[in-house]
Amino acid sequence: MREISGGVIFLDRDGTINVDTGYVFRPDELELIPGAANAIAELRRAGYKIVVVSNQSAIGRGMCDATDVDLTNQRLRDLLLKASPGAHLDAIFYSPHHPDDPKNTRKPGLGLLPQIREQFDFEPKHCWMIGDKLSDVEFGQNVGLPPSHCILLTSGAKTSREQNASQHLVFPSIAEAAQYIVSDISE
């Protein structure tokens, strides 16, 4: 497998990789979006590292704790690899904060960026952000990714206002987004 120097695909979790049923923090309730595992494997074969960046406010809301989210994330890794052996996630970062928490590290802010930078040396022009909410693509732009590398998906639970307000690329799912990215780098 080749590697794109400084190339990272940042992915949202709920609504991008797995079905967003509200607050997803129980491993047995996790369900992959069809085609997500193959899309991740395709992006890895293209040479990208895959990094999940997710808001998990269920912790800050007292609905669960970090162990619940960690177990759910491990189940996500297991389901992806079972569905497609190349669908390895290089890392998962999440913000546990409630939106009103003054220590807020949530997207679209850059509170998680120092942790990400500790583990990954990336070049924004070689990176992409894929997510189902405007806050995901705004995070990508805040990191310094070109707007054309920030993809909004219609597969998750978001409003039509977000889709219509977006000046970013829009695809139905991560599968189509991955095909676009892979075809873009091969040109």
Residue 90 is among the residues annotated as catalytic for this protein: no
Q: Which of 14, 68, 132, 136 is catalytic?
A: 14
C-alpha distances out from residue 152 to 93, 118, 160, 182, Å: 19, 26, 11, 17
Residue 25 token pair: 């923090």
b/e sequence 62-91, b meaning 16+ C-beta within 10 Å: eebeeebbebbbebbeebbbebbeebebee
Among residues 12, 68, 132, 136, the one annotated as catalytic is 12
How many Cβ atoms sit within 10 Å of the Cβ of residue 111?
A: 14
For the question of residue 14 being annotated catalytic, the response is: yes
List, by residue number, the catalytic residues: 12, 14
